[in-house]
Amino acid sequence: MTQASKDMMACIDECQRCHATCLSTARHCLELGGAHAESTHITMLIDCADICRVSADFMLRLSSHHRVTCRACAEVCRACAEDCERLADGDQTMLRCVEECRSCQSSCEAMAA
């Protein structure tokens, strides 16, 4: 593999978008306080941001191990989407995070296959 495929480039974009969304959502949650600022939730958001960044990096350098990180990324994105959905209650920032995490999950599942 000498060049990323169209599907891989799309997955890289998804991962980078999800990374940014999870970081900005963590900030939003800290500002909201309460259940949103609980350490387990903030840790989930940061974990998701980190694995998305790692997965994008693996694909950008065409690592032969990108399927491993994409598989992990899909799993963490699923968990993060569920956690954000639990706290969303109509909050647009939380709902956007749910949407981005699910989109990244789907893209990473395809890349992991």
**29-38: pLDDT as tens digits:** 999 999 999 9
Q: What is the pTM of this model?
A: 0.94
Residue 38 lies in a domain: yes
Tokens 């974990």 correspond to: 47
Compute the distance between CA of residue 36 and CA of residue 39 in angstroms, rounded to an integer.
9
Q: What was the pLDDT predicted at 20?
A: 98
Residue 2 has pLDDT above 90, yes or no: no
Establish if 59 belongs to a structural domain: yes
Classify residue 1: in a domain, yes or no: no
Show the tokens assigned to 87.
């706290």
Residue 89 lies in a domain: yes
Residue 17 lies in a domain: yes
Range of the domain at 18: 6-112
CATH number at residue 53: 1.20.1270.360
* Residue 79 falls inside a structural domain: yes
Q: Is 90 left (phi over 0), alpha (psi -120 to 50) or beta?
A: left
* 21 in a structural domain: yes
User: What is the C-alpha separation between 97 and 103, in angstroms, rounded?
Assistant: 10
Average pLDDT, the chain: 96
How many domains is the chain built from? 1
72 SS3 class:
helix
> Looking at the predicted structure, is the pLDDT value of residue 107 above 90?
yes
